[in-house]
Amino acid sequence: MEFSSKDLKEFKIDKDNFICTTSFVKPIHIVMMSAVHNYTDREASFSNDESSKYANNMRYKNPLEIDTIDGLNHSKAIKLKDTFELDTQVTKIINIFNNNNYLDPETNDVLSIILAEIFQNFYAHAHYKKPPICCVQDWPTSKFIEIAIADRGIGIDESLKDILTDYPNDTNPCRIACISGVSCSLDKESCIGTKHSGYGLYFTKRFIEENKGGLYLFAKDQCYVNIPKGEFDTKLPYKWNGTVIRLIINKNICVPSENFFRTVAKEQEGDDYDEFF
């Protein structure tokens, strides 16, 4: 697998049809096409016959509930349930790592907390009644696992609009969303009744950097990418109404997991970090 933003540009809109032009289907393609097919009035189709056949096998038109996902069919598209009522989506994904001896238990514990935070954010920020759609895929011949999640909510730019007024008009909201503490200044409650810490995507970003993996985050036509070569912004040739996050996890590189969250928070907060943790 190559780290590239090319995958994000393999879509086009033709009248009411959202078309994926890829010849190699990945989770990012599945979740976006599934969200369009299930949550909009647009058609969602693949221009390549082989890709279309593969995507149909991945159930993109009728995504599965998370309960059916296990080590044998974890590459299917899945509809998420609320983490705080049933956290099986985190457990099932982490089991892919644990059952195949990817990473170490401590790193997987850190990853499970990060995933739970990501899923919470989809529910807390999207203001959308339908669940996000997720696809996870493990390529046995690759050193990477890909996790992609998409919704059709209000998007990051709308969620952070009160904060973005302090930045230039051409600021990429996806990059701002990855700054530590960004959403805590909104002074709003999350879906579980606690104040947003604003650390969720920042922890995700720092984990990915330590893991030598990839983070892709986008909304509307703005995209933020963080890969081993560096971080950059890019514009997409279409607009996505909602939020998409793509994680590429290196199966072979563990993060310094002892006190990971405290260490990362202390980098930003100094000696006040214990107040949060």
* Structure-token match 């032009």, residue found: 21
10 Å Cβ neighbour count for 110?
Answer: 23
| Structural domain spans, the chain | 64-275
10 Å Cβ neighbour count for 85?
Answer: 6
Fold of 64-275: Heat Shock Protein 90 (3.30.565)
| Residues facing residue 245 across a β-bridge | 149, 217
CA 234 to chain centre: 17
The structure tokens listed for 85 are: 């009522």
Cα first-last separation, the chain = 36
Can you state the percent helix, strand and coil of the chain, rounding each to 5? Answer: 40, 25, 35
pLDDT over 50 (residue 17): yes
Q: Which of 132, 210, 226 is nearest to 175 (CA)?
A: 226
* Structure-token match 């979740």, residue found: 31
Reported as a single tens digit per residue, the pLDDT across 34-82 is: 999 988 999 999 999 999 999 988 888 888 765 444 444 455 566 655 4
Q: Which of 200, 237, 201, 202 is nearest to 220 (CA)?
A: 237
pLDDT over 60 (residue 85): no
Reported as a single tens digit per residue, the pLDDT across 130-155 is: 888 888 888 888 899 999 999 888 88
Reported as a single tens digit per residue, the pLDDT across 196-224 is: 455 789 999 999 999 999 999 988 889 99
For residues 80 and 120, is the Cβ–Cβ distance under 8 A? no
What pLDDT is recorded for position 212?
A: 96
Q: What is this structure's pTM?
A: 0.86
What pLDDT is recorded for position 20?
A: 95
User: Residue 261's pLDDT band (boundaries 50, 70, 90)?
Assistant: confident
For residues 132 and 122, is the Cβ–Cβ distance under 8 A? yes
* Structure-token match 């189709």, residue found: 45
Residues 6+ apart with CB under 8 A from 163: 176, 182, 183, 185, 186
pLDDT over 70 (residue 195): no
Dist. CA 69–CA 75, nearest whole Å? 8
Helices (H), 42-82: 49-57
What pLDDT is recorded for position 79?
A: 61
What pLDDT is recorded for position 272?
A: 56
What pLDDT is recorded for position 190?
A: 43
